[in-house]
Amino acid sequence: MTTTVIRNVRPLGLDAVDLVIRDGLIAAIGPDVGSGVPADGLETIEGDGRLLFPGLVDAHTHMDKTLMGLGWHRHDVGPSLRELIDNERRLRRDEGIDSHQQSLRHARAAIATGTTHIRTHVDIDTEIGLKGFEGVQRTKVEMAHALTMQVVAFPQSGMLVRPGTVELLEDALRNGADVMGGLDPSTSTFTCTSRASWARSRSS
């Protein structure tokens, strides 16, 4: 059994307390509850009166194709949803985006800023197959000690218009995807009117 005491922290801004954590779960919380914990094998973290929050949740990401750490890129496409989807697929191909490398960058940055759970959509189509999904699954396993991830198999390029996509989605679900998402890429009502340039972070 591993035990950690976090002393002098303020949960959600309330009065300062100690937390006793055993095997990753909060066992006790209150003023000075850490003082009676045996010292053998004990890890102590001094909070110095800082705020204490639950881990943050990022409920909508696309970790397989994040552009974090890559070079500058001008966004100048659209305004239809189909144009945006086609451009994104070209960008993924032209940049040779490595879904494992990029999702790992995203995961590490999220953890560093307090996120402990992510729901990520992962593109599944007949061009990339399951490559993006497999890269994100690697990241999910490697970062499981600090981050939980829900993986959404996402047929962004369409299903009926790209024969073989349904079978790929079924493969993803059989191999660990948590859920399947989707959108209607044929709709004419969903458009993007902004043509502003956007930059990608150069941090790695």
* pLDDT tens across the length of the chain (204 residues): 688 999 999 998 789 999 999 888 899 999 988 777 766 668 889 999 999 988 999 999 999 999 999 888 777 787 888 888 888 888 888 889 999 999 999 999 999 999 999 999 999 999 999 999 999 999 999 999 999 999 999 998 888 888 999 999 999 999 999 999 887 655 543 332 222 232 333 343
Per the omega criterion (within 30 degrees of 0), is the bond before 163 cis? no
Q: Which helix (H) or strand (E) element contains residue 104? A: helix 99-112
pLDDT for residue 199: 32
Q: Which domains does the chain have, with CATH numbers?
A: 3-52 (2.30.40.10), 57-180 (3.20.20.140)
The confidence score (pLDDT) of residue 188 equals: 43
Kind and range of the H or E run holding 151: strand 148-154
pLDDT of residue 185: 59
pTM of the shown model: 0.78
* pLDDT (0 to 100) of residue 43: 87
- pLDDT of 201 reads 36
- Note the pLDDT of residue 198: 27
Residue 63's pLDDT is what? Answer: 97
Note the residue count of the chain: 204
Q: How many degrees, rounded to 5, is the angle at CA 202 between CA 121 and CA 141?
A: 40
